[in-house]
Amino acid sequence: MTISGWQFKPKLWPTLAAIIVIVIMALLGNWQVSRAQEKEERQERLDQLSQQPAVTVPTVLVELEDLKYRKVEARGTYITAHTIYLDNKIYKGMAGYHIVTPLKLDESAVHVLVNRGWIAAGRDRGKLPEIVSPSEVVTVSGIAISPPQKTLELSKDTVSGQVWENLLLERYKEATGLALQPIVIQQLDEIKDGLVRKWDRPDSGSARNWGYAFQWYAMALTILIIYLVLSVKREHSEKK
């Protein structure tokens, strides 16, 4: 094919290589698009769950998916002896802790962990801030979330007394011997206990997949342009 003195002269092996690379990149882009759409659909379902009426945390052990991201209520007594301080939690640029205390469910041997909120760390890191904990039976309201399953730990020394770097449910069970529901309640109650409960809305993470998809499609387009440019040659006139 010749246009205005330029001729398209593709070669076999560059053409095959370009086709293979472009197809692979397009497929990878399509996969990222599907992942983004899956995450957005999941986020929509989670938003719907969070708008439903609160359910009571059962006094028998349940499956994580039964309560995950639901509004929940739990009635019981705080076991303050097993309170932990999750370290390196930032709020408005200030370092502090998330306070996690097990709640023994009323008339049951089952407990549920409650993330009661954030508190600033003092200048002396060796002295933990004091937490006001009710001793009577309380009703806690919040959102049921999944405890972390895998975390990156920069040090083997992830537990120091009440200060923990990460909250891993199995590790906590081993340390306390408590029977635990497979959730953590992010408390939403407005009570004056000195703790801040301004929880970030979980992000679906779809933006990253959309970004990756754009990159794959852009690279596929770049390869196509390079292939076309290298395959087009100017015709040389035979006249002298």
> pLDDT for 172-186, tens place per residue?
999 999 999 999 999
Q: Are residues 8 and 65 in the same domain?
A: no
193 part of a folded domain = no
Contact 171, 86 (CB under 8 A): no
What is residue 240's predicted lDDT score, i.e. its pLDDT? 44
Q: Are residues 63 and 177 in the same domain?
A: yes
196 part of a folded domain = no
Q: Are residues 76 and 140 in the same domain?
A: yes
> pLDDT for 203-231, tens place per residue?
667 888 999 999 999 999 999 999 988 88
> pLDDT for 105-118, tens place per residue?
998 999 999 999 99
Q: Are residues 18 and 101 in the same domain?
A: no
CA-CA distance, 217 to 197, in Å (whole number)?
42
Q: Is the pLDDT of residue 71 over 80?
A: yes
Q: Are residues 125 and 216 in the same domain?
A: no
Reading the block at residue 82, the tokens are 């097993």
**159: exposed, middle or buried (Cβ count in 10 Å: 0-12, 13-18, 19+):** middle
The model's confidence at residue 7, banded by pLDDT at 50, 70 and 90, is confident
**Domain interval for residue 146:** 54-187
Q: Is the pLDDT of residue 60 over 90?
A: yes
Q: What is the mean pLDDT of residues 76-95?
A: 93
Q: Are residues 69 and 132 in the same domain?
A: yes
Q: Are residues 101 and 11 in the same domain?
A: no
- State how many domains the chain has: 2
